Amino acid sequence: MNLPILSILIFLPLIGVFFLVFTKGTEEFIIKTSFKVSLITSVLTFLISIFLWINFDNSISSFQFVHEKKWIKDFINYKVGIDGISLVFILLTTLIVPICIISTINSVKFRIKEFLMSLLLIETLMLGVFCSLDLFIFFLFFEAGLIPMFIIIGIWGGEKRVYSAFKFFLYTLFGSVFMLIAIIFIFYEYGTLDVTKLLILDIDKNYQNYLWLGFFASFAVKTPMWPFHTWLPDAHVEAPTSGSVILAAILLKMAGYGFIRFSIGLFPHASIYFAPLIFTLSIIAIIYTSLIALMQQDMKKLIAYSSVAHMGFVTLGIFVFNGNGLAGSIFQMISHGIVSAALFLCVGVVYDRMHSRKILDYGGVVNKMPRFSTLFLIFILASIGLPGTSGFIGEFLILLGVFKNNYFVALIAALGVVLSACYGLWLYKRVIFGKIVNSRINELVDLNKKELLVLTFLVLLSLILGVYPNIILDTVSVSTNNIIYIFNEKTNIKMTFND
Amino acid sequence: MIEIDYIYPEIFLILSLLILLVLGVFKKNSYDLIKKITTICFLICIPIVYLNNINDLVIFKNSYAVDSLSNYLKILILISTTFSLIFTGDYIKIQKLDKFEYPLLILSAVIGMFLMVSSNDLIGLYLGIELQSLSLYVLASIDRESEKSTESGVKYFVLGALSSGLFLYGCSIIYGFTGSTNYYVISESLKASTNIPILFGIIFVIIGLAFKISAVPFHMWSPDVYEGSPTSVTSFFALAPKIAGLGAIIRILYICFENIYVEWKAIIIFISIASMLLGAFAAIGQTNLKRLMAYSSISHIGYVLASLTTNTKDGVISAISYLNIYIIMMISSFACILLFKRKNIYFENINDLSGLSKNHPVIAFCFAATLFSLAGIPPLAGFFAKFYVFKSVIEANMIFLAIIGLIASVISAFYYLRIVKIMYFDDQKDKFDEVETLGIKFSILVSSLIILFYFISPSFILEFVEVASKIIN
């Protein structure tokens, strides 16, 4: 196919941004048109990604839709291409962004045009991250996301917005600095930054550990892994609902994607060497942040900490180096993308009505909002990992993968599932059930049509993925097997494939 | 062709300086006219320099180089000076600095800079430095009524004279040991033998030059001078003298001292690290925009010097590209700073910018883009500049320098972000005056477009610079 469809996909939202820049007129007109424009562009992007999915060949392990162009003279090429893993993340991104835009209508009250511009900009950058086949391009997209996110948290956030915006920006910038050094070093040693070439290449064992640490510094902050996670709760609490959704659903996935594509792919020896470190940090993340989540008074903070715990599962699954773990991690990330987005939307729904995120201000919501309570329950259960929901498949596959590798770690990780049930159900009990203590609960109105539509859609998605996970697993299986195959080739250690 | 044909640009500028001086003396209130003619002279000089670029020559008994590097830097000096004349028009009028000497001093400083980037001889270099510096001392104190401006002029003069003295002392030591002031002769005799005393001379020479580009630990004058001088002068200080100083440093390190790389490398690494770190840390506490820009330029000089420590052609290329992008960012930031006025009073405190994004979204956006670019956030121009530098540094196997530099850039991101925060997150204040003049709009537009869209073709500047630095081995 001659059409550079991936580049069109990446830069389509950017065209929407340009349209928005030149929208002028009365305030009402601006708000209306910017909604229309951004919704149309994001839906179009979604349609293109569906088109990609249909045309994507599941049985080929190499990158597809590759588009290459000279960029910096004899040095860096603009190269994009996707395999199954990238594809599912692209689908997640293009799916979540329209939902964010719809939910913006309630949660953002001022400077809506600028907000939508930042949102579309983020979409472009995220799609770029998942498509890029050149380390430099990857870094560019990876880092550039900082600016719009800084703006979103800083302008539309809550009281402590400035503090959390700074924390987010400086933490992630600090992490990425080391990745940049590692990338330049790779170019200096091997003369190319083309991922397809680097994946075949065997990088010198002496360097691998340092380079791996360089990438790890950046990914660990973005994942976020314990103990680099402290920016996340702050950023989430202060971000507006749709900002939180973007953050939880898409931005956190970049690092997981990076681990799979680069840490394992480029530095297999170092990955094995550092796997115990990852295990330790992941397990601490799962147990410790779950315990912290139990103590939270703030609903958004609770969900934010639960995200850290869930990402702990993801990193655990990636670094057991087998098909089950890898597929489980990818599935878990997709599922977390959908479920945490939905949970933040749910918090947004009650926050828009009550203007409080404190759990203590709630109680007895079920009396006034029965539909909301039902949907919220399903999401909480999906987050816990109840069989039949998407959360279950991911956690199950990861635990399966970990069992093959290390019983002890699997045992502790399984404890995390119990803990997540504790904080999840306790949150639900305190917010939804019980007596109505706060008189303002009586004034609550149930979901309107738009909210109902969005949340039902997400519920269906979660249930479909829970019942028929092959939608995703089929797409990624060849690619994950390929990654494991290359990994085994390079390390000469027999690892099991996905059965 | 006789040798004098190759210095047409210098002759042209000197003649126009003399003619304009006479014109200014005899014609009353001739500021406007002279400023226009000076600007036109700079613009005419650009093609003259460009057409001069036929082949690389060193004329006048090997004491004056007319080559691609000097021509490139000269064009850069001319362009940046033209910009600093264009966008300061309003400011000069409002602050009543419209004396005819103002453009003429800039013109004579530019002639000095031409000498600095071209000279292949220590004496020629000294003459260039002095011609430039003396004009700059006067420019710094051109606002006679203001205490601060006078103070900064005197401060600059005293410290500048000291550094010139050190420089001359170094030259005399080198002359004493090598018997010549010519770069080629010095280089040859350094190849044959080096001894400790001659290293003193080299250190003094480097100190003198480091002072001129305000590299740590010889930076003390720059925050005070930046703050005290009229903003129009500060903007000039931040642009052209840095190009000239770095041009001189590149020539001296890579041609004159090329054979004692090991010795000067340690010095430059120290200066570079100190500049990057001090520029990053000291700027955190600043509330005056001009002072902040002073520290910011100190740290940027640190990055340029970092790439010069490599002693490779790549290092020079990345240093000059960094300088290029630095110039663009400084044009944009000073043009923005010159917009912050209410009822003809200029504001320099960063807190005066609060809520700028609501009152003046376009200016705020341009300034924010510039600040993000100064912080080196991709995909803006500043990131590519830093990337070239760290690429050349890592290729020279100095990873520690790259790590320190990048950490310094994270620290400095903090204070750039603070300004963005004030502009975007804080409550709005009264509106600033609307811009009427074309010059300032044009400068901001051009520079921020380059900053924003540099990523489309990042090798754009590199290609020019590669041609320019072909004389470096």
DSSP letters, A354-380, are H---BGGG---GGGT-HHHHHHHHHHH
Question: Which of A153, A155, A177 has the highest number of chain B CBs within 10 A, making it the mutation to test binding with B?
Answer: A177
Mean pLDDT across A201-206: 81
Pairing of strands A64-72, A76-82: antiparallel
**Nearest chain A alpha carbon to B389:** A184
Q: Which two tokens stand for residue A185?
A: 């070093």
With the C-alpha atoms ordered A236, A240, A245, A247, is the resulting torsion angle positive or negative? negative
**Nearest chain A alpha carbon to B394:** A185
**Nearest chain B alpha carbon to A136:** B387
Beta bridge partners of B349: B288
Q: Could you give the C-alpha distances from A149 to A119, A152, A304, in angstroms and in order?
A: 9, 5, 16
Chain A residues within 8 Å of chain B (Cβ atoms):
71-73, 75, 139-140, 143-144, 146-147, 150-151, 154-155, 161-162, 165-166, 169-170, 173-174, 177-178, 180-181, 184-185, 187-188
State residue B356's pLDDT score.
86
Choice between B54 and A50, residue whose per-residue pLDDT is larger: A50
CA distance B115 to A274: 57
Question: Closest Cα to residue A66, out of A47, A83, A85, A87?
Answer: A83
Question: Which of B424, B448, B464, B466 has the highest number of chain A CBs within 10 A, making it the mutation to test binding with A?
Answer: B424
- pLDDT tens digit sequence for A207-252: 888 899 999 988 888 888 888 888 888 888 877 888 888 888 888 8
Q: How many Å lie between the alpha carbon of B425 and the closest alpha carbon of chain A?
A: 5
Q: How many Å lie between the alpha carbon of B207 and the closest alpha carbon of chain A?
A: 31
Would you call A144 and B463 a contact, using CB atoms and an 8 Å cutoff? Answer: no
Mean pLDDT across B450-472: 85
B314 falls in which pLDDT band (50, 70, 90)?
confident
CA distance A452 to A454: 6
Mean pLDDT across A59-85: 83
Would you call A155 and B425 a contact, using CB atoms and an 8 Å cutoff? Answer: yes
- pLDDT tens digit sequence for A76-126: 888 888 888 899 999 999 999 998 888 887 677 778 888 888 889 999 999
Q: Which residues of B touch A146 (CB under 8 A)?
A: 377
Beta bridge partners of B64: B59, B119
Would you call B391 and A143 a contact, using CB atoms and an 8 Å cutoff? Answer: no
Question: Which of B373, B390, B426, B467 has the highest number of chain A CBs within 10 A, making it the mutation to test binding with A?
Answer: B390
Name the residue among A150, A154, A184 with its Cβ closest to that of B394: A184
Residue B18 clears pLDDT 90, i.e. is over it = yes
Question: Which of A69, A122, A150 has the highest number of chain B CBs within 10 A, making it the mutation to test binding with B?
Answer: A150
What b/e sequence results for B20-48 when a residue is b if at least 16 CB atoms lie within 10 Å of its CB, and e otherwise? Answer: bbeebeeeeebbeebbebbbebbeebeeb
Decide if B414 touches A, using CB distance below 8 A: yes
CA distance B224 to B149: 10
State the Cα angle at B406 between A175 and B447, rounded to 5°. Answer: 110
Of all residues in chain B, what percent carry a pLDDT higher than 90?
Answer: 55
Q: Which residues of B touch A162 (CB under 8 A)?
A: 421, 425
CA distance B277 to B288: 19
- pLDDT tens digit sequence for A430-481: 888 888 777 777 777 888 888 888 899 999 999 999 899 888 888 888 888 8
Decide if B449 touches A, using CB distance below 8 A: no
Beta bridge partners of A82: A64
**Nearest chain B alpha carbon to A210:** B399
CA distance A178 to A263: 14
Q: Which two tokens stand for residue B150?
A: 């006078």
* Helix axes of A390-405 and A449-467: crossing angle, nearest 10 degrees: 40
Q: Could you give the C-alpha distances from A170 to A164, A257, B62, B236, B412, in angstroms and in order?
A: 10, 22, 51, 32, 10
Q: Which two tokens stand for residue A235?
A: 């950023």
Residue A497 clears pLDDT 60, i.e. is over it = no
Decide if B167 touches A, using CB distance below 8 A: no
Name the residue among A144, A150, A161 with its Cβ closest to that of B378: A144
Q: What is the dihedral of CA B91, B94, B100, B106, to 10 degrees?
A: -20
Would you call B379 and A144 a contact, using CB atoms and an 8 Å cutoff? Answer: yes
Q: Which residues of B touch A170 (CB under 8 A)?
A: 410, 413-414, 417
**Nearest chain B alpha carbon to A171:** B410
DSSP letters, A237-300, are HHS-HHHHHHIIIIIHHHHHHHIIIIIIHH-HHHHHHHHHHHHHHHHHHHHHHHHHHHH-SBHH
Look up residue B241 and give its amino acid.
P
Decide if B395 touches A, using CB distance below 8 A: yes
Q: How many Å lie between the alpha carbon of A143 and the closest alpha carbon of chain B?
A: 6
Contact A143, A35 (CB under 8 A): no
State residue B1's pLDDT score.
64
Contact A223, A132 (CB under 8 A): no
Inter-chain Cβ pairs, chain A and chain B, closer than 8 A: 77
Name the residue among A140, A162, A174 with its Cβ closest to that of B410: A174
Q: What is the ipTM of this complex?
A: 0.88
Q: Which residues of A touch B456 (CB under 8 A)?
A: none
Q: Which residues of A touch B383 (CB under 8 A)?
A: 140, 143
**What's the full length of chain A, in residues?**
499
- pLDDT tens digit sequence for B380-396: 999 999 998 998 999 88
Mean pLDDT across B105-115: 94
**Nearest chain B alpha carbon to A21:** B362
Mean pLDDT across A138-164: 84
A428-432, B15-19, B26-30, range with greatest mean pLDDT: B15-19
Choice between B19 and A233, residue whose per-residue pLDDT is larger: B19
B53 falls in which pLDDT band (50, 70, 90)?
low
Would you call A187 and B391 a contact, using CB atoms and an 8 Å cutoff? Answer: yes
Would you call A71 and B458 a contact, using CB atoms and an 8 Å cutoff? Answer: yes
State the Cα angle at A229 between A227 and A232, rounded to 5°. Answer: 165
The H or E element that residue B147 is part of is helix B147-178
- Phi and psi for A135 in degrees, rounded to 5? -60, -40
Question: Which of B318, B387, B422, B457 has the highest number of chain A CBs within 10 A, making it the mutation to test binding with A?
Answer: B387
State residue A499's pLDDT score.
45
Would you call B410 and A162 a contact, using CB atoms and an 8 Å cutoff? Answer: no
State residue A496's pLDDT score.
52
Q: Which two tokens stand for residue B28?
A: 């009353």
Q: Which residues of A touch B463 (CB under 8 A)?
A: 73
Peptide bond into B197 cis (omega under 30): no
The H or E element that residue B76 is part of is helix B68-86
Q: Which two tokens stand for residue B472?
A: 């470096």
Choice between A230 and B18, residue whose per-residue pLDDT is larger: B18
* Helix axes of B68-86 and B438-453: crossing angle, nearest 10 degrees: 130
State residue A230's pLDDT score.
82
State residue B34's pLDDT score.
92
Looking at residue B57, the DSSP 8-state letter turns out to be E
